[in-house]
Structure 1
Amino acid sequence: MGIVNADLQPQEYVNTPPTTPYTHVEFKERVSFNKKSLKLDDQSQEWQSKMRDLGHRLKQAKVGLIYFIHGTYAGDDPFGIANLIEQINHDFTPIVKEFIKQNMIDKMMEDCGNYTQEYVALFKKAIGNDICCERFIWSSENHHFARLRESIKLVSALANDIDTKMPSWGERVLLLGHSHAGQLFALMTNFLAQSPGVSALLAIGGKAGIDVSKFDEYLQKIRQVHLDIVTFGTPPRYGWGDGKYNLLNIINHRGNEFLAGAIDTMVFSTKHGDYVQQSAIAGSDTIAKTDTERMSDKKLDEILGKGNDMIGLFENLKARMRVPHYGKTILVDYKDNSTIYPNCFDTLFGHGVYTRYEKMLFNTQLIVDEMY
């Protein structure tokens, strides 16, 4: 991994062999996780020792900051309710968002397709407590404009944390993103690379009220560190910007092929892996709540590809494309399939497995071995 040659153009859906490297791996729970308690001291000494060793390797690689970012529908405003309220009472919006995230999303989803506060706290302690670990919470709405708006917020938050929370020895930032968090990363790499089309994106955002006044300053701060980006179950959507960042895609997949399985009745037992990763592609977006956002989405369609387009979606699904056109991909059989119906609800159709506590050690080992 190293230089990623890319652009802002949306990914093309093909069923031909991938042009990017990929490999197959099977999940093996080397050490069991005690999910009855989320306290570090209640985990086995072997589990603690392995996580601590991985933390040492991360520190040796000068990783000074780790971000955990959830995907679509796991944020603080998945259906745009708080955004509507903001137009009436700006001061009330943060209260609504906090209530949605803490009292609805986190309690309902827990660690299924979601990074909880407890998960991040445990991870930080387990790797030695030396590396700053942060959650970035975004609205998680499922359309272009929301992802553009939240990617700009991500740039601001990341730049500030690099400036205030990065230890003096830190040179690298590890970004872990589930599902459409990967689209935020893709947009950010294009901002950093000043890809053709970025000016148009920012102009659309600015006209819709997004503050980009200090954006160049934030980008310059991020350019001073090295980014290591890991996506979990991210659907192939946006193009990635040129840059010397590392990109690793981890996808729940079963079988020795490079194509995703057919979307049929086997989806109820998650026979072929992550069905959301293969289906939340171009055309699958929801319609934004406000007129301003809907108008912005139409303009963004011309740059980022059709967002809401059911006919186009069904055509795109025919390719059954699993491996994205950017970075290196590891296809992991997480062993979450079952003959018991409907297994899909417990696994979010194979999409919720990555953030489970019992996968923490395996995923961290996979990332450290691959990147460091």
Structure 2
Amino acid sequence: MEYQKLGSSGVSVSRITFGSWAAGGWMWGGTEQNDAVGAIHASYELGVTSIDTAPIYGMGLSEQIVGEAIKSLPRDKVQILTKFGMRWDLAKGDFAMKTKDNNGQDVDVYKFAGRDSIIKECEDSLKRLGTDYIDLYQQHWPDTTTSIDETMEALSRLIEQGKVRAGGVSNYSVAQMQEAEKTLHLASNQVPYSMLRRDIEADVVPHCLEYNKAILVYSPLQLGLLTGKMKPGQEFGEGDLRKSNRFFTPESVKRVNDVLNKIRPLAETKNATLSQLVLRWTLAQPGITVALVGARNPEQAVQNARAMDFKLTFEEVDFINKQLKSLETAATV
């Protein structure tokens, strides 16, 4: 495993980080808690020491699962990355979405990052996680109803109190990062990025490289599409966010699979799966610090961690990039 510092903070993380959104079940059609705990333990055995979660994942369930999993691990060897600013229990801020919780009940979710709300969320997260500090605390989404200054001021206070080691953001534009930096020295920005979604290369990546900010990318396997296991017309269960996702139309799946089949022989020469090759390619891109990868069971977790068992040469990355040229239009369909 490789490890890297989050910007100029004192927090080092594993470059493959366990993403526990699916473990919370929410928008993924359910999960088994024992499998999720086992997946985190299997990851840890292979050097994946960092776990990314959020209160909104399963309305607290994901954080509880992470808390259960880390009980038997040395706390100082594990990095907990969680978030704030998505409230399902308070109708305040920017309306985000209508969704259902894991019990099928309708829920309205709001993006809200007011000072008092952040302090409360932090206390709730610490309880669910069973710990007294969070290694990286990230604003989940920007909130236009609260000044960035107020949000970062609250985050600074939590850092001063020792409840948070480093502060970061998620889904922030460069302009929003610059505004946040006036109040708090940001460690990182967590953003979507994959072979199919590369828009951050235009602005976020150059900014973070220039100012030494870590980039944590989520959905590097594009919700499973880049595993090569999806078939055109594949059905997804009720509550699965892929059911209506534009990347999962039969035409899109076919185009993606055609390209994956061209790079599959390279994966085979590395004795690796397509997923592992995709993750290795992701971490070979300039400015990308961490790839967040989910796993519902120990087998998937082991496969994800083993993406670090090989390296890609410059020529191999270039070969993959050439194959991806035909997907540039697919990303906008």
Q: TM-score higher than 0.5 here?
A: no
Please give the range of the TM-score, normalised by the shorter of the 2 chains: 0.3 to 0.5
User: TM-score, with normalisation over the residues of structure 2?
Assistant: 0.39
User: TM-score, with normalisation over the residues of structure 1?
Assistant: 0.35
For CA contacts below 8 A with separation 6 or more, give which structure has more relative contact order. 1
| Greater share of residues in strand | 2
